[in-house]
Each structure stands twice: as structure tokens, then as C-alpha cells.
Structure 1
Amino acid sequence: MRTTLSIDDDVASLLEQEVRRSGESFKWTINRLLRLGLMAANQPRERKPFVVKPRSLNLPSYDCVEDILEFLEGPEHR
């Protein structure tokens, strides 16, 4: 298949470096890297579960918001 592709300058520079490094043709390098990228994109990523680590604020336990505000801001919090 023949197509026209616009490539960003930074990507073109990396491609040129890879062509020089590998000794492959530009077409072969593009196809190889596209295959690798597309195969990697289809692979499910293994992710670590997000874990919340609770920390104590060393505050007294209050049942009323007013009591908490008074503790934090003083008796003149209003």
C-alpha cells in the first residue's frame, strides 16, 4: 500500500538515526517500528493496584463538625 504520511521533525530525526544505526531502508525501518508500536499498543498493561495508605492526623475523634472546627480554629471560628 502506498500512502503519504506527515511526520513531525523530532520523529523524522529519530527515524533517520535508526536508519543509519540499523542499516535498513527507510521503508523497512518505518514498517518494523510501526509493527512494534502497534503490537505493544494491543498488549494489556500490567498495573499495580492503587493503594491508599491511611495516616493518622492525631486529632481527637469528634462526632460533630462544630466540635472539629472549634478544635482546629479555636472557639471564635464563626
Structure 2
Amino acid sequence: MRTTVTLDADVQRLLKDAEHRTGRPFKQVLNDAVRAGLGRGSARAPAFRQQVFSLGRSRVDLTKATALAGELEDHDAIARTLRKPRR
């Protein structure tokens, strides 16, 4: 099949370098590059599996963790307010 393709200058330079380096015709270098680029995404990667471990029962009761975090945040805000220099 014949077609017209506009190549960016850097792509053309890479193809020409490969043509000179390998001694193959430009057409073959271009076709191989297109095949390699398009074929790369076709192989499906294996599904990611996260290995999990049981850490046992929690040693700390976290039912009031949000309240404790809020309280600590309040204390920090008060401390910052008291440290601010007055004008």
C-alpha cells in the first residue's frame, strides 16, 4: 500500500539513523518501527495482585480515633494562635 505520511523532523532523523546503521531500506525500517510500536500495547499485562497478610487483632481501640485527632488538631491550632506576635 502506498500512502503519504508527514514525519516530524526528530522521527525522520531516527529512521534515517536506523537506515544507515542497519543497512536496510527506509521503507523496511519504517515498517518495522510501526510494527514494534503498535505491537507493544497489544500484549495484555497480567492482572495486578496485591499480597495481603493478617496482622491480627488491633491492640489499640480506634473507635474514638477521629475524636482524638480532632482534639489534637484543636490543641495545635490554639498553640499556633498563642505564638503569633501581636501588632
Q: Which TM-score tier does this pair reach, normalised by the shorter chain?
A: 0.5 to 0.7
Structure index of larger Rg: 2
The CA RMSD measured in Å over matched residues stands at: 3.2
Distance 2:42 2:14 in 1: 23
Give the letter aligned to residue 65 of structure 1. T
The count of aligned residue pairs is 71
Report Cα offsets for 1:26-54 as digits up to 9, x if no partner: 11111122122222221112465467xxx
Q: Which runs of 5+ in 2 are unaligned?
A: 52-60, 79-87
Deviates more, 1:60-69 or 1:30-39: 60-69
Instruction: Give the C-alpha shift of residue 4 in structure 1.
Output: 0.8
Distance 2:64 2:41 in 1: 50
Please name the residue that 2:75 is paired with: 74
Please name the residue that 2:14 is paired with: 14
The two structures have a TM-score, normalised by structure 2, of 0.59
The answer on whether the counterparts of 1:19 and 1:25 sit within 8 Å (CA) in structure 2 is yes
Distance 1:24 1:3 in 2: 20
Instruction: Give the C-alpha shift of residue 67 in structure 1.
Output: 3.3
Q: Which runs of 5+ in 1 are unaligned?
A: 52-59
Give the secondary-structure state (helix, strand or coil) at the position aligned to 1:42.
Answer: coil
Runs of 4+ with >6 A deviation: none
Q: What fraction of aligned residue pairs are identical, expressed as a percent? A: 26
